[in-house]
Amino acid sequence: MKTPLVIGLLCFSVFLAVFLTTKTSIAAQQKVVVGSKIFTESYILGEIVAKKLELSQNKADNSTLIERRLGIGATGILFEALLGGDISMYPEYTGTIAEAILKRPDLKTFDEIQNALKPLGLTMSQPLGFNNTYALAVRTEVAQKFKLTRISDLAPVLTEIRIGFGHEFTTRSDGSPGLAAVYKIPFASRTRAMAHSLAYEAIREGSIDLTDVYSTDSKIESLGLLVLEDDLNAFPRYDAVILVRSDFVTLNPGLWSAIQSLAGTIDENRMRELNARVERDRQNFRAAADGYFEKSSANVDPSSQRPFFDLQKGRIVFRTKEHLILVGLALLFSLVLGVPLGILATQSRAFGQLILLVSGVFQTIPSLALLCFLIPLFGIGIGSSLIALCMYGLLPVVMNTFVGLRSIDRNLLDTANALGLNYWQSLFRVRLPLASRSIYSGLRTSAITGIGTATLAALIGAGGYGATILAGLAINDIEMITLGAAPAALMALAVHGIFELIDARLIPKGLR
């Protein structure tokens, strides 16, 4: 009975080894990867940086590859990707670096922050020229009704207004916790936390009155919001900079000076206008970024005015392919790993409990947190996403294999035993076929939940329908979100149907 245990463990370690070696570092390759966070401004700045690098490279006739990995995720994910060498640089804000990354709210000046970054192997460019600080914005009607102009004015009317803050804002020390401390207003008790881009949707349709905004948001104007004055100076400065790996600076002095030349060239008005090109005019990020390089911002090239929505629409087939590959590979690994683990779990009680416990714990880890844990190990992109998807897909397969094998009639097992079948003959000719129905339904569960979970893979740049959904969230476009969500739902239905069809072929006839 020891052989299957050894073989199972062997399979597991091979699987692990294969994945551990898939992590590739860009340090080894001659390319520069530009990342960005998942909101309009970060996308545009990422495009500007990438284009600037490309332009300067043409002059220098250097053949370093410039790769764009925009919209990878939130601060934590970008920072991990930068430290791990998956990306070379991304646009960041001085306030965020001090508060969220270095956890040093005491660092105020540019030089202080720059010095603190050095030990991490990072450096930042000179400020780009605008301060995109947090601000609180209210609906104009509400502002008029309660005569609100400053943040201090909120204190007496706190119970009268509905607040929706972005997740990041509710947790960062420079967000609502810091604000509450300075103004002595208990925001937390009245706040609903939501995705930042959805907060705009909520305030537009009037289901909330107050939200956090970035001072360069184009939506402040388009939604008719009033920005409340930070009369006690609670918010730190958020000067936009490009956060870069130090080894990039030493390896590519020419490219670095190109980035430094961006310093002081974008003021708040310019940035708000570039943001509006995407959110108001529905240009794609690259076209909006082109606005930076044009002499006059009013003169927009008509060919670049292809709406961002159409761009995403044209990518549906591509996204479907990405999504299917993600789900398919994850399912394959879940099968290859899950069935042996399920078999092992039936071997001994203690081992079985351990396997079921571990695969159960995987399920409880929130997906975003799991992705963050995996980035330092497997990098951003498909590697980490597959591991995460496998971890989620494993439990149904392991569990159903275990239960399927356990619920086989004792007398049939004795009979197989009495006929002189050895362990493997009994396993492959009797036990697995008898458990096939249960294993199969575990696979189906794994596939269908996998389709949903795979949308999160886009958070770390692995593509799929999630990329369309996140792009929609980033520019607050419900139609675009649907463009990603609806095919995912259709795919789940289709997969369900396909499993039904295969069911008739795969399950032994005598069991149907």
- Residues that bind other proteins in the complex, under the rule CB under 8 A: 411-412, 414-422, 425, 429-430, 433-434, 436, 508-511
Specify the amino acid at residue 285.
F
Specify the amino acid at residue 242.
I
In which residue are the tokens 């975003």 written?
368
Q: How far is the CB of 415 from other proteins (least distance, A)?
A: 4
Give phi and psi for 133, each to the nearest 5: -85, 165
Nearer to other proteins, 355 or 416 (CB): 416
Q: How far is the CB of 435 from other proteins (least distance, A)?
A: 10
Nearer to other proteins, 344 or 432 (CB): 432
Q: How far is the CB of 4 from other proteins (least distance, A)?
A: 17
- Max distance between CA atoms of the chain, in angstroms, equals 88
Q: Hey, CA dihedral for 330, 335, 339, 340, is it positive or negative?
A: negative
Residue 121 C-alpha from the chain's centroid: 24
Q: How far is the CB of 503 from other proteins (least distance, A)?
A: 14
Contact 69, 34 (CB under 8 A): yes
Contact 499, 396 (CB under 8 A): no
Nearer to other proteins, 293 or 423 (CB): 423
The encoded tokens of residue 163 equal 């607040």
Q: How far is the CB of 412 from other proteins (least distance, A)?
A: 6
Residue 289 C-alpha from the chain's centroid: 23
Q: How far is the CB of 409 from other proteins (least distance, A)?
A: 9
Q: How far is the CB of 417 from other proteins (least distance, A)?
A: 5
Nearer to other proteins, 119 or 510 (CB): 510
Nearer to other proteins, 318 or 428 (CB): 428
In which residue are the tokens 């881009």 written?
197
Nearer to other proteins, 394 or 430 (CB): 430
Nearer to other proteins, 269 or 417 (CB): 417
Q: What's the CA gap between 347 and 8, in Å, rounded?
A: 11
Cα separation of the two ends of the chain? 31
Kindly give the interhelix angle for 367-378 and 2-20, rounded to the nearest 10 degrees.
Answer: 80
Specify the amino acid at residue 221.
E
Residue-by-residue DSSP string for 133-192: -EEEEEEHHHHHHHT--BGGGHHHHGGGS-EEEEHHHHHSTTSHHHHHHHHT--GGGGEE
Q: Hey, CA dihedral for 372, 376, 378, 379, is it positive or negative?
A: positive
Nearer to other proteins, 263 or 421 (CB): 421
Q: For the beta carbon of residue 181, count every other beta carbon within 10 angstroms.
A: 11
Q: How far is the CB of 420 from other proteins (least distance, A)?
A: 3
Nearest to 216 by CA among 179, 138, 269, 264: 269
CA geometry: angle at 31 spanning 28 and 33, to 5°?
110
Nearer to other proteins, 366 or 510 (CB): 510
Q: How far is the CB of 5 from other proteins (least distance, A)?
A: 19
Burial 202-223 (b: 16+ CB within 10 A, else e): bbbeeebbbbbbbbbbbbbeeb
Q: How far is the CB of 425 from other proteins (least distance, A)?
A: 5
Contact 402, 429 (CB under 8 A): no
Nearer to other proteins, 95 or 442 (CB): 442
Nearer to other proteins, 249 or 408 (CB): 408
Nearest to 138 by CA among 153, 122, 117: 153
Q: How far is the CB of 427 from other proteins (least distance, A)?
A: 12
